[in-house]
Structure 1
Amino acid sequence: MLKNYFQIACKVYMRRKLFTAINLLCIVLTMVVLLVVTALLQATFFPTGVEGKSERFLQIGTVTQVSKNSTRRSPLGYKVIDQYLRKMKTVEKVAAVTGPESVSVYQKDSVNEIMMRRADAEYWQILDFKLLSGRVPTEEDVKLGRFVAVINESTAKKIFGSTTVVSQKINAGGQQFEIIGVVEDVLHMNAFADIWVPVTTLPSSQYREQYSGNFTVMLMGKSAADLPLIRDELLQVVKQVNADEPTHWDHTYMWADSKLDFFARGILSRDEVPDSGAAQLLAGVVFFMLLFMLLPALNLVNLNSGRIMERAAEIGVRKAFGASNRELVKQFVMENILLCLFGALLGLMFTKLTLIWLSNADLIPYLKVDLSFAVFAYGFVIAIVFGVLSGVIPAWKMSRLDPVLALKGAA
């Protein structure tokens, strides 16, 4: 039966090549946009590579403190991380890192602006950077406050013209560091920077006594099963932080979030409630993707209606020989799904080319995104949904034609 549907569909598509080309163009353009967005969202919310352990760690980006007259929302201070979060029993590793900060690099007669982060040794143990040469900072480097640095590949080429820069000196932000390693370029939120140095190289030690500052923390468990336990223990830790804070805020809020929860909480400003709003954010994304699909689907409905109208005589003959409405609807919908699946294959090919272009065009620094099996599967699901949405209405309409009128060619 499927073979017959396929043979009929091919003959129908070749009969009106312009209609087929227009249908494919609508499908391919829509597929490329949806799949590129899906690939970018997957790379953001469910990263691999440098953040490949993301299923095992949670992150805290802000601390929100509330009193009757004011609210303060800021990144974490190092004191909260060092004196409270590092003592959590459910956590295997605690990593502290500052947010990216623009610094000037003076090298020979040129000045470059690059992004610097200061991190502890655990940061390099949680994230899986691809080391191209040299090494990364150790616990001893951090403890002794050694002025060592790791830079990424692009920055090495930009400043030194080569990636063979281990043992070279670099003046960044008014401080001189010895380069001990070069890592591959990465874009992920916790890893994005051009240069990394130990947190203990900060010009002043005052950061050690701050409850709010410029730090993000990653809390890694032994397995993904530990994450609920980490969240529960954090609730008790926050109470202790609030009691010890000398400003005496009425409430202090910190939430350990997954990547998706972290983004949702920031976008929806849900600082004072446990629910990050991730479900609502995903629902919104799905809604807008379906809405985006609706316009080309309606266009395809009109095109399919015109194409099927030309087959009135065929419908009349089939109905005269006993074909049921259900069989006719199934045939027309299957034809449309086959066309959409062919469009999906073309869409996947053009999506791959688009992602390669985005990765190489440097529109987004260090962006590296590719088609994954999940995105491939989403493409075929979207194609089937597209085929059903744009095929059912015209198919059902034409299947209900009176056979006598259909044989006369009247719709």
Structure 2
Amino acid sequence: MLKNYLLTAWNVFQRRKLFTAINLACIVLTLVVLLVVTAMLQEAFYPSGVEHRSNRFLQVHMIEATNEKHTALSRSPLGYRVIEKYLKPMPGVEMVAAVTGVEPTAVIMNDVSTELNMRHADAEYWRVMDFKVLAGRVPNEDDVAQGRMVAVLARSMALKLFGDPAPLGRKLETGGQTFTVIGVVQDALHLNAYADLWVPVTTYPNTTYRHQMTGRFFALLLARSPDDLPAIRAEVQRIAARMDFAGDPEFSSGQIWADSKVDMFARTLTSSKDTNPDAGGVGGASLILGGVTLLMLLFMLLPALNLVNLNVGRIMERSTEIGVRKAFGASNRQLAAQLILENVLLCLAGGAIALVLAAGVLWWLEASGPIPYLKVGINFAVFAWGLLITVVFGVLSGLVPALKMSRLDPVHALKGAA
């Protein structure tokens, strides 16, 4: 039976080559866009490379501070004091890292000012992240403890500033400070890894940052196992309840959350405090996955409707064939299954072409550089999503025509009328 369906589908595709080409073009264009978006989202939330340990680290990226009367409210990145005093000593974690968000700055080189993005980080940061070190080394505990004026550059910035992929020992000046380059790492575009320049946290001109409860820092909490993440989230909530804002003239208490990447994005996007599934909230993964799925289905709706119209037209041309098959005992279910199978096969062929084209688009995005440091490709997870999207697309665009075809009256169909 399946073999007959496949042979029939092949003959139908060969019979109307222009129709088949139009259908394929519509399918390929839609799936290329969906596959590229899926690859970008997969790399953003479940990355490989530098942040491949993201399945076992949580991020504390925001503190919500208020006063006793709740008349003042501030949402900002953490101050270093929160990380040093409350998070670093916490039990149940392998390590806690502190790093600032991206800080725009300028480097003066040969009387030319170059704009770049800098981060201040502690030694633990380099152990949580897994940068590929291309030359030299990254800062260690002693560098941070001694406040050494050392720096690490991304490879692209090293080439831009010095024309050398390994400018070890060279000096650069930024913010009135002079740093010595001790290492070069591979470019990386990830939430916690993207930067052009990294320097030790202790190279700030003064120690004011150490006493601040709000500031510009993020904390990365690395668990020994993904199974430890719920306990770490709960411990962070207990820590938040006992944070002391003594000496702060504006705020008296605060709240912090330990989030996965997806939960953090959902919390930022929705301004919600309730995206932690361990505490009975709606998980960030569920929010993001539901939103992305809805957008994909809406995006697929228009081309699916176009394919429905094309398929209905094809059915009318095959009315005599349908009438003959019904006269010889073909059931409505068999006829519907045939057209849906034809449509799914066409979509799978379009999906194969779309995979190749999507890989080409991603290669072009990496090579042309509209998004700095982008490294993304079609991997098994993206292929699996692409296959699922392709089948769904085929079923959606073939279901209505299949039902219409299966209900044709055999007498009218043999006369060539619907």
Same topology, TM > 0.5: yes
More displaced stretch, 61-70 vs 206-215: 61-70
- 1:87 is paired with a residue whose SS is coil
- 1:348-359 equivalences in 2 (<5 Å): 348-359=355-366
More displaced stretch, 58-67 vs 182-191: 58-67
Select which of 126, 129, 132 maps to 1:127: 129
Residue equivalent to 1:69: 71
Give, in angstroms, the shift of residue 271 of structure 1: 4.2
Q: Which amino acid aligns with 1:172?
A: T
Give, in angstroms, the shift of residue 242 of structure 1: 4.3
Give, in angstroms, the shift of residue 270 of structure 1: 1.5
Q: Please tell me whether the aligned partners of residues 144 and 200 of structure 2 are also in contact (alpha carbons under 8 angstroms).
A: yes
What is the alpha-carbon distance in structure 2 between the residues aligned to residue 221 and residue 386 of structure 1? 40
Select which of 82, 85, 89 maps to 1:83: 85
Select which of 304, 307, 311 maps to 2:314: 307
Q: Please tell me whether the aligned partners of residues 262 and 276 of structure 1 are also in contact (alpha carbons under 8 angstroms).
A: no
What is the alpha-carbon distance in structure 1 between the residues aligned to residue 98 and residue 178 of structure 2? 22
Residue equivalent to 1:94: 96
What is the alpha-carbon distance in structure 2 between the residues aligned to residue 276 and residue 103 of structure 1? 38
- 2:243 is paired with a residue whose SS is helix
- 1:103 is paired with a residue whose SS is strand
Give, in angstroms, the shift of residue 280 of structure 1: 2.5
What is the alpha-carbon distance in structure 1 between the residues aligned to residue 224 and residue 398 of structure 2? 50
Pair 1:243–1:76, CA change in 2 (3 A): closer
Count, aligned residues: 411
Deviation readout 1:203-257 (Å, 9 max, x if unpaired): 1111111111110110111111111111111111111214656447464210000
- 1:5-404 equivalences in 2 (<5 Å): 5-67=5-67, 68-242=70-244, 244=246, 246-247=248-249, 249=251, 251-271=253-273, 274=276, 275=281, 278=284, 279-404=286-411
What is the alpha-carbon distance in structure 1 between the residues aligned to residue 244 and residue 296 of structure 2? 42
Give, in angstroms, the shift of residue 2 of structure 1: 2.2
Deviation readout 1:286-316 (Å, 9 max, x if unpaired): 1111011111111100000101111111111
Q: Which amino acid aligns with 1:122?
A: E
Q: Which amino acid aligns with 1:96?
A: A
Q: Please tell me whether the aligned partners of residues 78 and 215 of structure 1 are also in contact (alpha carbons under 8 angstroms).
A: yes
Q: Please tell me whether the aligned partners of residues 120 and 142 of structure 1 are also in contact (alpha carbons under 8 angstroms).
A: yes
What is the alpha-carbon distance in structure 2 between the residues aligned to residue 245 and residue 226 of structure 1? 34
Q: Please tell me whether the aligned partners of residues 166 and 180 of structure 1 are also in contact (alpha carbons under 8 angstroms).
A: yes
Q: Please tell me whether the aligned partners of residues 154 and 185 of structure 2 are also in contact (alpha carbons under 8 angstroms).
A: yes
Pair 1:309–1:250, CA change in 2 (3 A): farther
What is the alpha-carbon distance in structure 2 between the residues aligned to residue 104 and residue 400 of structure 1? 71
What is the alpha-carbon distance in structure 2 between the residues aligned to residue 165 and residue 173 of structure 1? 20
Q: Which amino acid aligns with 1:341?
A: L
Give, in angstroms, the shift of residue 190 of structure 1: 0.3
TM-score by length of 2: 0.95
Give, in angstroms, the shift of residue 360 of structure 1: 1.1
What is the alpha-carbon distance in structure 2 between the residues aligned to residue 15 and residue 385 of structure 1? 25
Q: Please tell me whether the aligned partners of residues 136 and 150 of structure 1 are also in contact (alpha carbons under 8 angstroms).
A: yes
What is the alpha-carbon distance in structure 2 between the residues aligned to residue 168 and residue 47 of structure 1? 32
What is the alpha-carbon distance in structure 1 between the residues aligned to residue 379 and residue 243 of structure 2? 42
Q: Please tell me whether the aligned partners of residues 275 and 283 of structure 2 are also in contact (alpha carbons under 8 angstroms).
A: no
Deviation readout 1:58-83 (Å, 9 max, x if unpaired): 00111001232110111101111101
What is the alpha-carbon distance in structure 1 between the residues aligned to residue 282 and residue 370 of structure 2? 30
What is the alpha-carbon distance in structure 2 between the residues aligned to residue 410 and residue 91 of structure 1? 72
Pair 1:395–1:271, CA change in 2 (3 A): closer
Q: Please tell me whether the aligned partners of residues 245 and 253 of structure 2 are also in contact (alpha carbons under 8 angstroms).
A: no
Pair 1:47–1:276, CA change in 2 (3 A): farther
What is the alpha-carbon distance in structure 2 between the residues aligned to residue 353 and residue 276 of structure 1? 37
What is the alpha-carbon distance in structure 2 between the residues aligned to residue 285 and residue 176 of structure 1? 45
Q: Which amino acid aligns with 1:198?
A: P
Q: Which amino acid aligns with 1:94?
A: V
- 1:350 is paired with a residue whose SS is helix
